[in-house]
Amino acid sequence: MIHQYQLNGYNIVLDVNSGSVHCVDDLAYDIIALYQTTEKQQIINKMLVKYAAVPEINKAEIIEVLDDLAGLKKTEKLFTPDIYQSKAFDFKNRSTMIKALCLHVAHTCNLNCQYCFASQGKYHGERACMSFEVGKQALDFLVANSGEMTNLEVDFFGGEPLMNWNVVKQIVGYGRKIQKEHQKNFRFTLTTNGMLIDDEVIEFANNEMHNVVLSLDGRKKVHDHFRKTFDGSGSYDLVVPKFQKFVKMRGDKNYYVRGTFTHNNTDFTNDILHMADLGFNELSMEPVVCAPDDPYALQEEDLPQLYGQYELLAQEMIKRNKSGKGFTFYHYMIDLEAGPCIYKRISGCGSGTEYLAVTPWGELYPCHQFVGDPKYSMGDVWQGVTNTELQTQFKLCNAYARADCQGCWARLYCSGGCAANAFHATGSIKGTYEYGCKLFLKRIECAIMVKVAEATLDSTATE
């Protein structure tokens, strides 16, 4: 399977099953579109007609392109067959290791954001904070179930994890204590709204956290519309200076400034550029997750503008990168040479299998987006995964498990997408969240275009 598209002046051809990316001229682009379905002589005739006004395109030129394509096909860089389907089910079904936990250390929050999928941090339940004993047991559970895996990931999530900061520090301390004896390497991450950031938090996090995710929606008006304190005032002025200090002190360690866009700011590129102008250069902006009838839910009619925004963002990033003021956007961070292997690409996101969420009470869920739904309770950190039937369902949820993905060129980029989004949109973890797919396809096209632009060093395409 191939996917070919034109964007920002580039003709791009993706060979889905080999992962190859080709940048071609108009003649090659047209021939590739016909190559698998049309006889060679017919292709030649069609091209001679189409390019009759272009003197340098003659029969010999067309044959040369056809020969090049035959060579690419022979070396499995074009029209490569799919040989991975059986591996998708075998690989994931064999895996029983757990390597990542999302620790819900605080089911409470000091902001009252209307769009919060976690219902202001409570996940539709009671307010609660995780005790150190539960966190300690969660790390023990992780180590005991991680097999030979070395790198273990623990995200401090909420609600707002800084509302239970002392326990976070205790859990980190415990992790550092046990990691040597078990030959593990804990990678801790922290997702925070910033309200409680102070010098002590900055110092500890910059020493111990592999990554920090800082929530900011962009422009002050946009951010303050949803991200309000309980007295109704916006939080932008409170958190931005803290984030700037945090990032400045962080040096070269990883962070993301992460926002959410909604129907209210379908011009979200302006919010990303605002973040960049504030001095942040590792950025992420996510489409809101909410019920379709929420007033701020993204609508079908928003799609053309959203597509345009993703294209505009890609073009702006190329420009800024050239001028030395570049920034990264999470969804455009594709490393074509050092990206994931085929097993990662076919085995799905890992929810319910290698990745679990832990509630303040120690209950296990497939991921943070299932927390609070009793049907998806999987066990607890003391007894481990007891709902093995549910675990099996998630094990068999991969890029090949969804009927809608069979003909999709992007399945090895998304691996079937988010199980929680699929469940919320269709009632099944093997469904597909079509709206999310549409945005994902556009993001991947843009991400690869940025890489092609970098690789070809074409200075004219974005002018």
> Which residues within the stretch 70-109 sit at the binding site for other proteins (CB under 8 A)?
72, 76-77, 80, 83-84, 87, 91, 95, 97, 99-100, 102
Beta bridge partners of 261: 287
Site size for other proteins (CB under 8 A): 88
* Residues 108-137, interacting with other proteins (CB under 8 A): 117
Task: Classify residue 231 by its DSSP letter.
Answer: T
Single-letter code of the amino acid located at 370: F
- Cβ at position 264, least distance to other proteins in Å: 17
Take residue 321 and report the two structure tokens written for it: 């990168």
Q: For residue 11, what are the contacts with CB-CB under 8 A and spacing of at least 6?
A: 4, 23, 24, 25, 26, 28, 29
Q: What CA–CA distance (Å, rounded) separates 163 from 127?
A: 12
Query: Which of 6, 42, 119, 150 contacts other proteins by CB under 8 A?
Result: 150
Interface region with other proteins, contact rule CB under 8 A, candidates 146-154, 217-225, 245-253, 301-309: 146-154
Query: Which of 351, 377, 393, 432 contacts other proteins by CB under 8 A?
Result: 351
Single-letter code of the amino acid located at 142: L
- Cβ at position 231, least distance to other proteins in Å: 27
Site string for other proteins, 368-407 (x = CB under 8 A): xx--------------------------------------
Q: What CA–CA distance (Å, rounded) separates 386 from 425?
A: 27
* Residues 196-225, interacting with other proteins (CB under 8 A): 211, 213
Q: What are phi and psi of 216, to 5 degrees?
A: -145, 130
Rg (CA), the chain: 24
Query: Which of 47, 65, 116, 240 contacts other proteins by CB under 8 A?
Result: 65
- Cβ at position 450, least distance to other proteins in Å: 12
Upstream peptide bond of 436 is cis (omega within 30 degrees of 0): no
The DSSP annotation for 391-407 comes to HHHHHT-STTT-GGGTT
- Cβ at position 451, least distance to other proteins in Å: 7
Q: What CA–CA distance (Å, rounded) separates 202 from 194?
A: 10
Q: Is 148 or 181 the residue whose CB approaches other proteins more closely?
A: 148
Q: Is 265 or 415 the residue whose CB approaches other proteins more closely?
A: 415
Q: What CA–CA distance (Å, rounded) separates 377 from 385?
A: 9
Interface region with other proteins, contact rule CB under 8 A, candidates 16-24, 226-234, 273-281, 302-310: 16-24
- Degrees, nearest 5: CA angle 289-292-295: 90
Q: Is 151 or 233 the residue whose CB approaches other proteins more closely?
A: 151
Query: Which of 289, 358, 364, 408 contacts other proteins by CB under 8 A?
Result: 289
Q: What CA–CA distance (Å, rounded) separates 157 from 145?
A: 21
Contact between 18 and other proteins (CB under 8 A)?
yes
Bridge pairing between strands 2-7 and 10-15 = antiparallel
* Residues 28-47, interacting with other proteins (CB under 8 A): 28
- Cβ at position 43, least distance to other proteins in Å: 14
Interface region with other proteins, contact rule CB under 8 A, candidates 125-133, 147-155, 232-240, 317-325: 147-155
Q: What CA–CA distance (Å, rounded) separates 358 from 445?
A: 35
* Residues 239-278, interacting with other proteins (CB under 8 A): 256, 258, 260
